[in-house]
Structure formats: C-alpha cells, structure tokens
Amino acid sequence: MKAWRIVAGSQIAGLKLVDETPKALGPHDVRVRPRAAALNFRDLMVINGWYPAVSKDALVPGSDAAGEVVETGSAVTRLKVGDRVATSFFPDWIEGQPTRAKLATALGGGGAGVLTQDLVLNENALVKSPAHLDDAQAATLSCAGVTAWRALFEVGQIKPGQTVVLLGTGGVSIWALQLAKAAGARVIITSSSDEKLARARSLGADDTINYKTTPDWDNEVIQRTSGTGADLVLEVGGSQTIMKSIAATRLGGTVAVIGAVSGPGAALEPMSLIGSSVRLQGIYVGSREMHEQLARFVEVAGIRPVVDSVFAFEELPQACGHFLGGKHFGKVVVSIHP
C-alpha cells in the first residue's frame, strides 16, 4: 500500500508518496479502508514547519479521514466490519475536559496520520459516519465540523435568535454557518469576495460584509445589530483581526479563537477586555463525544457539509497548493480509495 510522508517543515515539495507494509492489528485495533481525507490549515502548518509536530522523522500527515471498517482486532466491541466511520482528531480525548495527555496523540502531527491507503487505529479513535453523507463529506466532521460545534454550542452556548459572526468562508466558517442556521441563530459572515458572500447567503447567511470594501467591518457589525454587537465571534484571522473581533462582540459576549491565518503576534489591549467583559476562549478541535453529538445533529438536521473540491490521492501536493491559494469555499478533500 502507499502513503504520503513528509519531514515537517520541508514544504509541499517535500511530500513523498512511498510504499509501506500494512500494520498488524492489536486486539483493540480496527483496520479502515479510507476513502477520503479532508485537509485543514493545520496540515499546511505541519508541512511548512509552522506547527510543533512531535516527530522529527518523516511523518504521515492528515487528521481527517472517512471510510469503511474492513478488519477488527479480537477484542473490538465498538465497531464491526462494514461500518462507515470517520477519525476522531484526538484518539485519546474521549470526553470531559482536555488534558495534555489527551491532546498529545492528535492525528497527523507525528503519530498516526490518515493520508495512507491502509489506516489502523484503536477502536476508540473512530466515530460512525452519518448515513446520508458520502465519505468526502463525512471526513470534514473530524476537525472543522467538531471545531465549529464546540465553538458554537460547547463554548458559545448559542441560542435561537442570537447573533454569530464568522470570518471568511473556509471550512470551519462554512460548517459554523450551516450549524448555526440549523439551530436558529442569526449569522453575519465576512469575505473579500462578493461571489463567496453570495454563496454564503444561499446557505442561509442573514448578513454579509465584504471586508475589503468595508475594512471597519467591526463597526458594521455593531450597526447591523442595532448597537449591541454579536453574541459570539469565531475568530480565525489572528493578528489582523483579533482586536476587530473583540470590538464586534457585545458586552459579556464571547470570541472563540480558532485560528491565525493572517499570522501570529497580535498585540492584545487588556482594557478592550476589561471594559467589554468579553471572554476570549481558545478552541483546539474537541473530543470524540463532541464528534458523536455533531454526527447525530447533522443526521437529524439533514446537513450536508460543503466540499469545495476533490483531488486524487496522487494529487495531494496540488490539493495543498489549492488550499494555500485561499480560493476555496468550504473543504478541500483528497480521494484515497474512490
């Protein structure tokens, strides 16, 4: 079987497709035939050396895959051959609050990775996929979907009628748009592309703001909420947007800090938090329990995640280049076994 490997930091050109021997199963292991893997900005961080990968050796990248169980270990009880499953981002964070130990085995950062044609994981690291989703769609739950779920409902405690602001139209933001609308929230979303904003409105976005033509989009959010501000902002921008996200949030509201696509190094003004009583909460994906809750919600609500494009397994470098180009709307997926 073939797998992609890379020495963290060696850039897209360092990706190598290699031949490997399938792993033997332990008693609690499951062998999955992965059919699709969804890319995340974190994968590009590993590839480019912006992420503290735990291995200095060539690693298998990728954390989000969906496929079919084809073999089970002798002591497996949670799953059976034929089950359609997706990976849980943190194999050892099953439930409860995160700990360093629970987060240490995150997929794709040096331990197990999913960009391989034969995937062996402990049975606890997998979640059954919603029946109405294909594997490309199901793969997007693991990181982007769970991140959006945790930000909206675990941290933001969003209720019907409350206002959520989303930055950009990447995977987490579009997932959050679909989930928030299914829960009855009002959504304001930003982008530099009017075409993408039109697509967001077709998915239910209530208000859209082009941050290129309206650079003071935080003031625009205040105006469009009758001077109140948003209940929750999903902050993915980093140094260029964090202060605007705080300014766009109502008194006592929440900013869920998810990413830093515009780069690190923001200067945070403490008085902006003291005067507004805004809560900043970092979000690093979520537990398997959250993934399971998300899967049930998606199935009941009939949500279909937005897949921007699907690349062949051999086209992983091109898929990464497309992702870095920032033209995607929703998730970029790699087909492993069609």
Q: Give residue 267's pLDDT.
A: 66
* Residues of the chain below pLDDT 70: 261-267
Domains of the chain listed by start with CATH number: 2-143+286-335 (3.90.180.10), 146-282 (3.40.50.720)
Question: What is the model's pLDDT at position 162?
Answer: 98
Put simply, whether the predicted model's pTM sits higher than 0.85 gets the answer yes
Q: Which of 125, 113, 119 is nearest to 60 (CA)?
A: 113
Helix (H, G, I), strand (E, B) or coil at 154: helix
Q: And the tokens for 109?
A: 């950062």
Sign of CA dihedral 264, 268, 272, 278: positive
| DSSP for 236-294, written as a single string | -S-TTTHHHHHHTEEEEEEEEE---TT-S-----HHHHHHHTPEEEE-----HHHHHHH
Q: Do residues 89 and 107 make contact, with C-beta atoms less than 8 angstroms apart? A: yes
pLDDT given at position 238: 79
62 HSE (CA, 13 A, CB side): 33
CA-to-CA dists, residue 184 to 60, 220, 332, angstroms: 39, 22, 27
Whole-number pLDDT of residue 171: 95
Beta bridge partners of 312: 335
DSSP 159-226: -TT-EEEEESSSHHHHHHHHHHHHTT-EEEEEES-HHHHHHHHHTT-SEEEETTT-S-HHHHHHHHTT
Q: In the structure encoding, which two tokens stand for residue 230, read together?
A: 């948003």
Q: What integer pLDDT is reported at residue 261 of this predicted model? A: 67
Q: How far is CA 144 from CA 104, 139, 197, 254, 304, in A?
A: 19, 9, 20, 19, 13
In this predicted structure, what is the pLDDT of residue 259?
A: 81
Residue 169 pairs in a beta bridge with: none
